[in-house]
Amino acid sequence: MATDNRTRMSQHEPPRATKTAEIIIVGGGVIGLSIARELARHGVSDILLFDKSELGKEASWAAGGILAPQVEADSTDDFFKLANASRNLYPSFAQALHDETGIDVELDPTGTLYVAFSEDDEAALRQRFAWQQRAGLRIEWLDSKDVRRVEANLSREVRCALRFPNDWQVENRKLIEALIASNENLGVQLVPNCEVSSLHERNRVVGVRTRRGTIAAPVVVNCAGAWTSSLFPVEVEPVRGQMLCFKPSTQLAQHVIYSSRGYLVPRRDGRLLAGSTSEHVGFDKRVTAEGINAIQSMAFDIAPSLRAERLTDSWAGFRPRASDDLPVIGPDAEIAGLFHATGHYRNGILLTPITANLVAKLITDGSHSPLFAGFSPNRLDAVAANP
């Protein structure tokens, strides 16, 4: 499909531009908004950001806001290094946004528990505990009594758990609000509800075409998420994730709670989120009875008293997934001036600050961070050629 997209784009001769910009960003989720903000902070004065719908109302809005690189990691591979570095930026990132906008993104440092219900679960946690302890990462082993001491409402069936003190959460919807406000303060031109219909290029970017006209620009940044492949030469598919929201009468958990089947996320306002499914259904955004039942079953197993609480909301979003489950970050190999920051899959909120910092440096001064080495768009051609 990458070749087909390039062929289709190269067939379009760009009409006379009606507007110009220094940099155009396509996609207004947390990745696009954070890159726009960081570019403006680096001194870029003429940035246009387009989104096909409302800013931040797709995957960024549907997310759980979990910042937990250690929870699912089994080695210090390239992805773990990137995710860990991004999590560690969050305290300064959240503080900067608060200073700029007055908006508290509710970074919660309570930590995350991963609970085990079976012998297999426990064996997997023991392996994770051993390597992370050897690596010098903060991690704690809790037996069943310890679990109920720190989280009294969890199931009596929990055998043990790992506690990750440095795996946090953020209120992703407040994060979106803060990023929009910061960009507005910095003079970034945000254009919601305006779809980019084509990319103009003759082996390099010269601008984009939208229903509001043609805009000339020497640099375009692809932050289109699950919609990437409809416009850009990168294979990204949508993966539906359904989420549930409860409003318990009393707070049932302090930590983010993981199990092998899903997770619970307690919010400061008393809500409790439960998720999530991973479904390859194209752009079907429906919440289904099957999805609700699966998530409820998981949630009730973790916290049985949740059965008595009312389900107050549900939603679904599309995670952007590349073929190897890894993000796609860096310059396009064939189209000069085109940069990609997409395919963040289940980790878009977590990877927001590091993606913004490194992409902005790459565009403004050509700095290529070694953290990006394993995530170049060029790798996907090799994956496609050698399935």
Q: pLDDT of 235-260, one tens digit each?
A: 999 999 999 999 999 999 999 999 99
Spell out the domain ranges in the chain.
Answer: 2-61+173-236+324-385, 112-165+238-319
**How many Å separate Cα 1 from the centre of its chain?**
24
Q: How far is CA 342 from CA 204, 231, 238, 315, 367, in A?
A: 19, 12, 12, 22, 19
Is 240 within 8 Å of 260 (Cβ atoms)? no
Helix H or strand E encompassing 237: strand 237-246
Contact 256, 263 (CB under 8 A): yes
Residue 195 has pLDDT above 80, yes or no: yes
- For the segment 48-81, what is each residue's pLDDT rounded down to a tens digit? 999 999 999 999 999 999 999 999 999 999 999 9
The pLDDT tens digits for 133-161 are: 999 999 999 999 999 999 999 999 999 99
Beta-carbon contacts of 45 under 8 Å, excluding residues fewer than 6 positions away, are 22, 187
| Packing angle, helices 78-101 and 172-186, rounded to 10 | 60
Taking only the tens place, the pLDDT of each residue in 251-295 is 999 999 999 999 999 999 999 999 999 999 999 999 999 999 999
- Residue 217 tokens read as 């620009």
Residue 17: what pLDDT? 52
Flag whether pLDDT at 381 surpasses 70: no
pLDDT tens across 217-237, in order?
999 999 999 999 999 999 999
Q: How far apart are CA 274 and CA 243, in angstroms?
A: 6
pLDDT exceeds 50 at position 1: no
If you average pLDDT over every residue of the chain, what do you get?
93
The alpha-carbon radius of gyration of the chain (Å, integer) is: 21
> CA-based angle 216:220:224, to the nearest 5?
125
Confidence of residue 32 (pLDDT cuts 50, 70, 90): very high
- Distance from the Cα of residue 184 to its chain's centroid: 22
Which residue in 333, 324, 239 sits closest to 3, CA to CA?
333
CA-CA distances (angstroms) from residue 232 to 6, 111, 208, 310, 342?
A: 8, 38, 12, 43, 10
Mean pLDDT across the stretch 183-200? 95
CATH class, range 112-165+238-319: alpha beta
Q: Hey, what CATH class is 2-61+173-236+324-385 in?
A: alpha beta
Put simply, whether the predicted model's pTM sits higher than 0.95 gets the answer no
Assess whether the region 2-61+173-236+324-385 and the region 112-165+238-319 belong to the same CATH fold: no
Please name the residue ranges forming H helices in the chain.
Answer: 2-10, 30-41, 59-62, 78-101, 119-134, 144-150, 172-186, 289-302, 352-365, 379-385
Cβ pair 222, 340 in contact under 8 A: yes
